Amino acid sequence: MSSVWSRPTPPRRPALTREAIVAAAIAIADAEGLAAVSIRRVAAELGARTMTLYSYIERKEDLLALMLDEVAAEVLADGPPPADWREALLTSARRERDVVRRHPWRVDLISQGIAVGPNGLRHVEEKLAAFDGLGLDRLTAWRCLAAYNDYVTGFVVREAQERTAPRRQGINDAERAAVAESYIRELVESGEFPRLAPMIEQGVAGAGDTFERGLGWLLDGMERELSGIGGDLPGR
């Protein structure tokens, strides 16, 4: 079976293109979640027959791959990335987080192992380019990228799951918070969690602060490791 990106684009019909189909599917997923996306539903949104869409996209898996790759384009830099390797990775991480906040279903597709498309590969290439000039060998650069990806992906997946949980459970944020708060407070007041209790009672930093600090710690450790390999790193 050939990749969806290697197949020729079918002849265009008025108001119906592969791009329009993907855009409609993304709009549905943004509004209602990935489970609402189907060839039939997209066809209805576009005022087309379901079988007509199969002339453009052979199966739902191809539609999901095209959706994932379309939003991957939003992560790519608009212009030349920062010259400093740390700033380049920080900027990329912030874009990835912003994209998942706009399209939380993206993490579902990543977890399903949907095929990576050209924009996804461009994003990997862009991140690897941040290590240019550091004198890293192929294996070290890949290990650095893997550690970075593990942190960023892990964070945005958890954040997306927390933000979409109320919709999956059929309740709103306030209702979910009320139920959780009552249960957690009862446990904390038992005295069994002396370290956790002050964090809950007095509050902790928000997700944005946690994301930036954790990423900074990761890059600090990476910089120390790489400085030991190749001496002082440029741009610092």
Q: Does 5 reside within a domain?
A: no
pLDDT tier, 236 (very low <50, low <70, confident <90, very high otherwise): very low
CATH number of the domain residue 87 falls in: 1.10.357.10
pLDDT recorded at residue 14: 52
One domain for residues 41 and 94: no
Do residue 153 and residue 222 come from a single domain? yes
104 and 60 share a domain?
no
> Residue 198 above 60 pLDDT?
yes
Residue 38 sits in the same domain as residue 94: no
pLDDT surpasses 80 at 185: no
User: Is 91 a member of any domain?
Assistant: yes
Neighbouring C-beta atoms of residue 120, cutoff 10 Å = 20
Cα gap 112→50, rounded to integer Å: 25
In a domain, 24, yes or no: yes
Beta bridge partners of 13: 16
Relative orientation angle of helices 39-46 and 18-32, to the nearest 10 degrees: 110
Work out how many domains the chain is built from and give that number: 2
Count of beta carbons in the 10 Å neighbourhood of residue 156:
22
pLDDT on residue 194: 76
Is the backbone of residue 80 left (phi > 0), alpha (psi -120 to 50) or beta? beta
Contact of 97 with 152, CB cutoff 8 Å: yes
157 plus 205 within the same structural domain: yes
- Check residues 176 and 202 and name the one with the higher pLDDT: 202
166 with 217, same domain: the answer is yes
Give me the chain's average pLDDT, please. 84
pLDDT at 133: 87
Give the pLDDT confidence of 54-103 residue by residue, as tens digits.
999 999 999 999 999 999 999 999 888 899 999 999 999 999 999 999 99
Rounded Cα distance, 57 and 55, in Å: 6
d(CA 188, CA 197): 6
Residue 233 and residue 227 in contact, taking contact as beta carbons nearer than 8 Å: yes
Q: Which residue has the tokens 């990576």?
A: 116
For the segment 125-183, what is each residue's pLDDT rounded down to a tens digit? 999 999 998 989 999 999 999 999 999 999 999 888 887 765 555 555 555 555 556 76
Shared domain check, 82 and 67: no
**By the 8 A CB rule, do 215 and 150 touch?**
no
Residues 68 and 81 in one domain: no
Q: Are residues 178 and 108 in the same domain?
A: yes
59 and 176 inside one domain: no
In the predicted structure, residue 11 carries a pLDDT above the cut 90: no
Same domain, 104 and 148: yes
Looking at the structure, tell me whether residues 97 and 149 fall in a common domain: yes
Boundary residue ending a domain (28, 56, 72): 72
* pLDDT the model gives residue 191: 75
The answer to whether 68 and 110 have CB atoms below 8 angstroms apart is yes
For residue 210, which phi and psi values (nearest 5 degrees)?
-60, -40
Cα gap 140→129, rounded to integer Å: 13
Residues 203, 165: Cα–Cα separation, whole Å: 21
Domain boundary among 44, 72, 100: 72
Q: What percent of the chain has pLDDT over 70?
A: 79
Residue 197 or residue 159, greater confidence? 159
CATH code of the domain containing 24: 1.10.10.60
What's the pLDDT at 21? Answer: 97
State the average pLDDT over residues 202-227. Answer: 82
Q: What domain range includes position 44?
A: 18-72
pLDDT at 75: 94
